[in-house]
Amino acid sequence: MSFSPRISRRLALTALGAGATYALAVQTPRARAAEGRPKYFIGIYMPHGVARELWVPKPGFEIAYPDSSLAPFADAATYGQSFREQILTVEGLDLTAGMAASTSGHDGSRVLLTGSGGNGRNASLDQFLAVEQGLGQGLPLSSLVLGVGRPDPALGFCISYAQGGSALPKIIDPAQTFQQAFAQWVVGSDPAALAKAATERKQGKSLIDYWRVELAALRARAPASERDKLDQHATALRDLEQRLEGELGACTPPHAPDPATFPLVQAYQGGEPYFDTVTDLQVDLLVQALACGVTRVATLFLNDLSRTHVDPALPDDVHIDVAHRYESAGRDGQGGVPATWQALARQNRYTYSKIARLLQRLAERQLLQDTALVALSDMGDPARHSSRQVPALLAGGWGGRLKGGRHIDLGEHGTPNNRLLVSIQQAFGVESEAFGQAADPAIVTGALDLA
């Protein structure tokens, strides 16, 4: 098995030309990284909000206290090192643009990376960076959109949205993740196989050229209302071209995952016992895709622990019997039911353990410092299905821009999550003070002070 250690120069030039219709606010990704900016973006959805009582760090950013949901990040024995200094927690964010458009509760994941409600037409931050800002240009995949349990792009089950506002489907099968990210390049050194791959690349390019002409003919007849749809199709063609022409960077390629270890992958169709395995594989493949130069942008939609039996201490139905039963003490710390905090914190701790594994893998590949990771939930208090006070975990080095080991409390009055998205895009060099869509410009404008 051999891999080229370089990115195709010709492809890089082609991609720049293809992206010329967009206003590129930044230089090439390689140039941005050289300027001390993050090179990789990872967006993660976590279910069920958090038990605030066991999520907020104690003074001194103590996160290893009993029942703390953030404890995995201080668990050096399990994850190779403590990531306490590589994470920053933010509380006080509201999904304001979503609430203004009646996109909240279980639909709130729509808002997390878009900063807009169900009627929004802008791309989510990951796709904005990958496609519109060129972070994914010149690579085999402009982005990887992964999930666990449900592949369908239904409202409430997606965080990645294309320009135009359509939800992107997720890959939930690790075998498919491998197939999409690596299999094409695992050709080997057999001359016949290499020749076949070369023919496939050449013919694939001819097919793409043909489809582009046909798409342009269709576009010429289509009304303006259909342009977003056709633009997305054109983006898909460009991605396919990149996949055909791109080459892996220098890396140790992964082995194909063994499907026997996850015979079923769909929620409610028998996949639950394998979600833990699937999540680990998706995490590992994601990091390997970054390390091998397959992509620089990824999202991961995590599932809950319902019927997985991973944690025997939790009820079978985590959604109803944990999330719905949570009784918070609120910000004033009065009342609430501690047992319900502990149950929800167990779910949260499981989710964070997977993110800790992701940080561990990034660190092993020397990618952590250059990664900007954000993990968000669609709810603050899940029993109320509240889109207020949603938790945010920022992690990675952000190219040296993120100072971790801290907790930022934005207060109880609610700061639009758009501010966080603005901060992230600015970290990547996008010189804009706004992200998302809302009738009130104040919702989408302004950045967080993360200093």
Partner 1 sequence: MNRAPIALGALLAFACGSASEDTHAPPAAQTLLAPALRRLSVAELELAAGNVLGAPIALRDSLPPDARQADFSRNIAQSVDSLTLRQLYDATRRASESATLPTPSCAALALPNDENCKTELISALATLAFRRAPSREELARLHPLFDEGAENGTFRDGAALVLRALLASPQLLYEASLGEGATQQGAVPLGQNELASALSFLISGAPPDDALLSAAAASQLTNGTERYAQAVRLLSRAETMAQFQRFVEEWLGLVQLPQLAKSNTVAADFGPLSRALQVETRSFVADVMAAQAGSLQALFAGGYSFVPDEVAPLYGIQPVPAGTRVSLREFGRVGILQHGSFLSVFAHEAESAPVLRGKAVLTRVLCRKIPAPQELGIDLMFPAPDPNATTRSRFERHAVDPQCKSCHAQLDPVGFTFENFDAVGRRRSTDAGLPVDTRGSITLNGSSLEFKDSAELSQAIAESEELRNCAARQVVRFASGRVDERAETAFVAEVATLPFTWRASLLGLFLSYVKSDGFAWRVSP
Residue 222's Cβ-side half-sphere holds a number of Cα atoms within 13 Å equal to 14
Main-chain phi, psi angles of 283, to 5 degrees: -60, -50
Among positions 383-422, residues that touch partner 1 (CB under 8 A) are: 383-387
Which residue, 342 or 387, has its beta carbon nearer to partner 1? 387
Q: For residue 46, what are the β-bridge partners?
A: 377
Position 369 contacts partner 1 (CB under 8 A): no
**What is the rounded CA–CA span in Å between residue 58 and residue 46?**
22
User: Beta-carbon neighbour count of residue 1 at 10 Å?
Assistant: 8
* Span interacting with partner 1, options 103-111, 186-194, 246-254, 273-281, rule CB under 8 A: 103-111
Position 312 contacts partner 1 (CB under 8 A): no
Least CB distance from residue 87 to partner 1, whole Å?
A: 29
Least CB distance from residue 84 to partner 1, whole Å?
A: 34
Position 24 contacts partner 1 (CB under 8 A): no
The site string for partner 1 over 318-357 (x = CB under 8 A, - otherwise) reads --x---xx--------------------------------
Position 64 contacts partner 1 (CB under 8 A): no
Among positions 199-258, residues that touch partner 1 (CB under 8 A) are: 200, 202-204, 206-207, 210-211, 213-215, 218, 221-226, 229-230, 232-233, 235-237, 239-240, 243
**What is the rounded CA–CA span in Å between residue 194 and residue 115?**
45
Which listed residue (93, 99, 290, 345) binds partner 1 by CB under 8 A?
A: 99
Position 194 contacts partner 1 (CB under 8 A): no
Continuous H helices in 167-247:
174-181, 191-221, 227-245
Least CB distance from residue 141 to partner 1, whole Å?
A: 8
Which residue, 90 or 99, has its beta carbon nearer to partner 1? 99
* Span interacting with partner 1, options 2-10, 100-108, 362-370, 435-443, rule CB under 8 A: 100-108
Which residue, 67 or 228, has its beta carbon nearer to partner 1? 228
Are the CB atoms for 369 and 396 separated by under 8 Å?
yes
Least CB distance from residue 166 to partner 1, whole Å?
A: 5
For 50-92, give the secondary structure using H, E and C. Answer: CCHHHCCCECCCECCCCCCCCHHHHCHHHHCCCCHHHEEEEEE
DSSP 272-294: GGGHHHHHHHHHHHHHHHHHTTS
**What is the rounded CA–CA span in Å between residue 139 and residue 157?**
27
Strands annotated E in 49-143? 87-94
| CA trace torsion 382, 388, 393, 398 (10° rounding) | 150
Angle at 144 between CA 444 and CA 431, to 5 degrees: 35
Which listed residue (268, 338, 409, 411) binds partner 1 by CB under 8 A?
A: 268
Which listed residue (7, 113, 125, 145) binds partner 1 by CB under 8 A?
A: 145
Element (H, E) at 44: strand 40-46
Find the distance separating the first CA and the last CA of the chain, reported in whole Å: 45
**What is the rounded CA–CA span in Å between residue 408 and residue 415?**
12
- Say which amino acid occupies 347: Q
Position 11 contacts partner 1 (CB under 8 A): no
Which residue, 80 or 315, has its beta carbon nearer to partner 1? 315
Closest CA to 185 of 125, 136, 256, 247: 247
Which residue, 214 or 409, has its beta carbon nearer to partner 1? 214
User: Beta-carbon neighbour count of residue 309 at 10 Å?
Assistant: 12
Which listed residue (109, 122, 133, 142) binds partner 1 by CB under 8 A?
A: 142
Position 440 contacts partner 1 (CB under 8 A): no
Least CB distance from residue 40 to partner 1, whole Å?
A: 18
Which residue, 246 or 396, has its beta carbon nearer to partner 1? 246
Rg (CA), the chain: 22
**What is the rounded CA–CA span in Å between residue 384 and residue 272?**
26
Least CB distance from residue 348 to partner 1, whole Å?
A: 19
Angle at 281 between CA 279 and CA 286, to 5 degrees: 95
Q: Interface residues with partner 1 (CB under 8 A)? A: 99, 102-105, 107, 141-143, 145, 150-154, 162, 164, 166-171, 179-180, 200, 202-204, 206-207, 210-211, 213-215, 218, 221-226, 229-230, 232-233, 235-237, 239-240, 243, 267-270, 306-307, 316-317, 320, 324-325, 381, 383-387
